Structure 1
Amino acid sequence: MVRPVTSTDPHTDGIYLRRLVAQADAFIAELEKIEHQARHQGLPPASFWDSIDNAIISLGRMCDVVWPSEGRTGAKARTARERAAHLRSVLVLADDGIPYDREVRNCVEHFAERLDERHADPGANHVDRAISNSDRGIVDGVAPDEYVRFLNKSTLKFWVFGHSIAFREVLPLVQDVRARAIAATGR
């Protein structure tokens, strides 16, 4: 039995609000690493791509708390939507949320499956971990969304299996949610 979410449970609210702050902090820290690497080539390549994955996962965890997926059904999904609506009202957040394609996170979390699917397509591009200063890609005629993973390091827009996220556009929204959550916890 799923317990209904009410606005009279400040302890539970506090847990969710602290989770929002922690995930925002994780997103911001990973984005700082990505920015540094894009400017100075400071991280080993594997760490750089791990930072991108970690930033996306942290953002997804934030969104799950206050903007859960609408596609789910059942009692747990209803409870998640009620909890999220309550937290959005506490934080005075809009219902539409951070512009974030959930498929980006799914591609990161289910990378092996997506790569298997791409491998099955003989015409698919298999270039991975491509980095460029523009959206033109690194090979003429190959768009960013055709790479396995591609980063425009001048804009910090990232593509994975055709889905993208603009990190710099999302950052101020993450910072706003973080500030609201801190204010709501009285921290």
Structure 2
Amino acid sequence: MYLNEIEIQCEFAHRSFGQMQEIFANNPKHPSLLALAHMLLVFAGNVAKLLTSSDSARKTRTRAARLREALGVKTEDFSTIRRARNFFEHFDERLDKCIGETGGLVVHRLIDDHEPTSITLDDGQSFTPKFMQLLNTSTWELSLYDEHFSLPDVLRLLQEVQMKVKEVLRKQGVPGYEAVP
């Protein structure tokens, strides 16, 4: 059951990115790009939740260790995904911190083909911006309050995990995962 869930969460993340590509082709700054980037990281976070455990419950730690061993992955592989997941889970705290501690120009959300290093206002003043959320569509990197997350790197890890899951399920003889002749 857990392996099936990991596999489908990986698939959902890849489908989210596929939808991002379709939307980007029609409108490179469409707001749905950020929503889909969030979804991708939520699905990736679900995989990380199953394969790693910050929970002190022995059963949860044991399950995560057993799954990692079966798939041959390490806890460290998911540290980036866990940081992104924490951003979403504690978004209110990040918003408080950004608004309360950041001097200068704070940009709430931006989708662009680069990360601006300077923004000039109508009155001519220039600022180095701080971004709560920035999706760079040339690199497919999502910046969340000065932390950068490469969506292609996340997807490569999930693809690797998904392939390992399919192999384990195939070896177990689970219907739908038989070897293709």
Q: Sort the TM-score into its range (normalised by shorter chain).
A: 0.7 to 0.9
Map 1:52-63 onto structure 2 (within 5 A). 52-63=37-48
Q: Is residue 91 of structure 2 the alignment partner of residue 106 of structure 1?
A: no
Contiguous gaps of at least 5 residues in structure 2: 120-125, 171-176
Segment drifting more, 133-142 vs 106-115: 133-142
Measured against aligned partners, the alpha-carbon deviations of 1:4-45 in whole angstroms (never above 9, x if no partner) come to xxxxxxxxxxx1101101110111111112233334317852
Aligned to 1:147, what secondary structure does the other structure show? Answer: strand
Asked if the contact 1:118/1:124 (under 8 Å) is kept, the reply is no
Question: After TM superposition, which residue ranges in structure 1, 4 or more long, deviate above 4 angstroms?
Answer: none
Map 1:36-55 onto structure 2 (within 5 A). 36-41=22-27, 44-45=30-31, 47-55=32-40
Distance in 1 separating the partners of 2:158 and 2:81: 15
Q: Is residue 96 of structure 2 the alignment partner of residue 116 of structure 1?
A: yes
**Which of 96, 101, 123 does residue 76 from structure 2 map onto?**
96
2:166 equivalent in structure 1: 182
Contiguous gaps of at least 5 residues in structure 1: 1-14
Aligned to 1:68, what secondary structure does the other structure show? Answer: coil
TM-score, scaled to structure 2? 0.77
**Which of 9, 19, 22 does residue 5 from structure 2 map onto?**
19
Distance in 1 separating the partners of 2:84 and 2:104: 18
TM-score, scaled to structure 1? 0.75
**Which of 43, 51, 65 does residue 66 from structure 1 map onto?**
51
Aligned to 2:76, what secondary structure does the other structure show? Answer: coil
Distance in 1 separating the partners of 2:18 and 2:117: 23
Equivalenced residues, count? 165
**Which of 13, 19, 39 does residue 33 from structure 1 map onto?**
19
Q: Is residue 59 of structure 2 the alignment partner of residue 79 of structure 1?
A: yes
Aligned to 1:129, what secondary structure does the other structure show? Answer: strand
Higher strand share: 2
Aligned partner letter, 2:47: M
Map 1:145-164 onto structure 2 (within 5 A). 146-164=130-148
Aligned partner letter, 1:132: D
Among all aligned residue pairs of Structure 1 and Structure 2, give the percentage whose two residues are the same amino acid: 23
Measured on the aligned residues, the alpha-carbon RMSD in Å equals 2.5
When residues 117 and 44 of structure 1 are mapped into structure 2, their CA distance, relative to the original with a 3 A threshold, is same
Segment drifting more, 15-24 vs 101-110: 101-110
